[in-house]
Amino acid sequence: MNDKVEAFGEFLSGRIPRHPEMVRRILALTYHLLSLQAWRFPSKKYGKAREYLQGYTAKVIGDMLQSPRNSAVVNIFMPCEIFHALNLRVTAPEALAVYVTNTACEQPFIKEAEANGAAETFCSFHRVLLGLAETGILRKPALIAHTTLACDANQLSFRRLEELWGCPRAVIDVPLDTSAEAVAFVAEQLEKLVPLAEEAAGRRLETDKLKEAVALSAESQAYFEKYLASRAKVHLPEAMTPELLNVINNHLYLGTKESEHANRLLCGDVSSAKPIGKRKKILWMHVLPNYQEEVKAIFQGETDVEVIGCDLAYDALVPMNPEKPFESMARRVVQSSYNGPGSRRIGETLRRARQMSADGVIIFCQWGCKQTQGLAYEAKKVFEANGFPTLVLDGDGCDRTNAATAQATTRASAFLEELREYLYV
Ligand code: SF4
């Protein structure tokens, strides 16, 4: 992280306890300026989709900090078409925490969450979210909504936020099986969520708008599948941040024109990119530590390895029918590769690894994330038995004091060295 960002983060961090209102305004302005920069003056170093999504995500977070009443705080797996059709903005712990960390001011929020009872072993994305709320930087939204899918941190942090903010909270219970009955059960809950969302938004949901949102989701996902079909053949200049943005886009923004536009831009980016050549192709599992410059440098720029995909960006590319909006949204959560036993997620990565002719897999074990830690070693065993060398990399997607950068770079470099030797024998 560069010195100017560090200094800015320090300036903000020191003022959070006594001047939270000022910090909130500065953060909102910063993200709005970042959005303006990415949209009006995009860097030629990066892909068009990356710049567009960077601009959109910064704008959404800036808007939410500035005026939270017209927004919903959700978890990453929550289908959001209902909210988009009601013109509610949405964000999730991962998106907020990654932006705050890249502004170098996550520490006071983590400490505030811990001072209010969050365990040090709790997922750091959720500790940042809790701290943002406890300090008053992130104020009461119109609604909280989350699923039970995959992430157990949701159950604790969103309940605490409901108490703190005093706003309605909806929980979508996702069965562990992927049957038609499970889809119908979730669809029914999503339909029942409508009156609550309407009340929170202060307007009625128009059926046509919801269908339009689901049609946009289907188009967005179709563009992403098209992008994936070409991704492994080309070299793109950057990996960590674009993959994180793809994760956010393929969950939170599905149902918006912006999501569809971004994934269309991705297809353009790969069609005009140079061939990947002899670079080693890595599939990534779970979140990516995009603030760790030393780790990023191993995978992008002048290097012979490239991250070509992240399982959290394509966990639920399932068929969607705008005429059946609730069923379509439900299918996306129920059939996500993150739902059910770990073997589903492992199987999906194996399928993609074969499809994209990956050379290796990295499983990123986010601090406090039991569901990824629980499957990591079984996944490694399965991938290696199928010819895909695998590294289990412990780390933290947003707490810079818990990053263990030297250890991560040493382990990643050693793995890549082995991979090179393995491939050359
Ligand atoms: S990293 Fe794991 S625990 Fe944290 S938000 Fe994501 S799924 Fe939940």
Question: What pLDDT does 122 receive?
Answer: 94
- Contact between 346 and 375 under an 8 Å Cβ cutoff? The reply is yes
Ligand 1 center from residue 8 Cα (angstroms): 28
**Unique residue bearing structure tokens 């899918």:** 149
Ligand 1 center from residue 90 Cα (angstroms): 17
Ligand 1 center from residue 286 Cα (angstroms): 9
Residue 310 makes CB contacts below 8 A (sequence gap 6+) with 243, 244, 246, 247, 283, 284, 285, 286, 288
Question: What pLDDT does 377 receive?
Answer: 93
Residue 395: CB within 6 Å of ligand 1? Answer: no
Question: What pLDDT does 404 receive?
Answer: 86
What's the pTM? 0.96
- The DSSP annotation for 188-230 comes to HHHHHHHHHHHHHHTSPPPHHHHHHHHHHHHHHHHHHHHHHHH
* Pocket test residue of 91, 128, 151 for ligand 1, highest count of atoms within 8 A of CB: 151
Candidates 219, 236, 404; CA nearest to 321 is 219
Question: Cβ atoms within 10 A of the Cβ of 289, count?
Answer: 24
| Cα dihedral 227/241/372/336 (nearest 10) | -30
Residue 150: CB within 6 Å of ligand 1? Answer: yes
Residue 107: CB within 6 Å of ligand 1? Answer: no
Which segments in the chain show pLDDT lower than 70?
422-425
Residue 78: CB within 6 Å of ligand 1? Answer: no
Ligand 1 center from residue 369 Cα (angstroms): 5
Residue 151: CB within 6 Å of ligand 1? Answer: yes
Candidates 228, 311, 215; CA nearest to 269 is 228
